[in-house]
Amino acid sequence: MSDMEFMEEAYKLAKKSFDQGGLPIGSVLVRDGKIIGSGHNQRVQKGDPIAHGEMDCIRNAGRQKTYKDTTIYTTLSPCMMCSGTIVQFGISRVVIGENRNFGGNEEFLESRGVQVDILDHPKCIELMERLKAEKPALWAEDIGE
């Protein structure tokens, strides 16, 4: 599968979260061309402030001997907590659906040796813009405003 195909899988998870009333952020973890973990933001659904999409994905991948040979796909640029987790576990590559609505940790990731690729995926951008327009209070809560 290509980066766009893996991002499409992450997008489906983001849409699932949005349809459940949550934040539209989805993520998949890939090794050797296969998805080994997937998840989506569940802060609203579970009332859990750290149930971000990337955290849910890594949790669902379960314990791994190493993460150094994995790529994580996320529909939105990861926050500092998720970026720190990516660095902590040695995930070598992050593919970001979009960073127009939220970004800023790409430089941190790169400074720690993580390869960062941004796809500017139109559906990821559109879904996050829809959340911001329809639920501005939820968006403000998520980004800590």
One of 5, 8, 9, 54 is an active-site residue; which one? Answer: 54
User: Can you give the pLDDT at residue 141?
Assistant: 82
**Look-up of token digits 């576990």:** 89
* Cα torsion 80, 85, 88, 93: sign: negative
**Is 5 noted as a catalytic residue in this protein?**
no
Q: Give the CATH number of domain 3-143; options: 3.30.70.330, 3.40.640.10, 3.40.140.10, 3.20.20.210.
A: 3.40.140.10
- What Å distances lie between residue 76 and 33, 63, 66, 83, CA to CA? 21, 24, 24, 12
Domain boundaries, the chain: 3-143
Query: For residue 76, which of 104, 113, 49, 56 has the smallest C-alpha distance?
Result: 104
Q: Residue 142 above 80 pLDDT?
A: no
pLDDT of residue 72: 98
pTM, to two decimals? 0.96
Output the six-digit token pair for 30.
Answer: 């890939």
What confidence tens digit (pLDDT) does each residue in 68-93 have? 999 999 999 999 999 999 999 999 99
Beta-carbon count within 10 A of 29 CB? 26
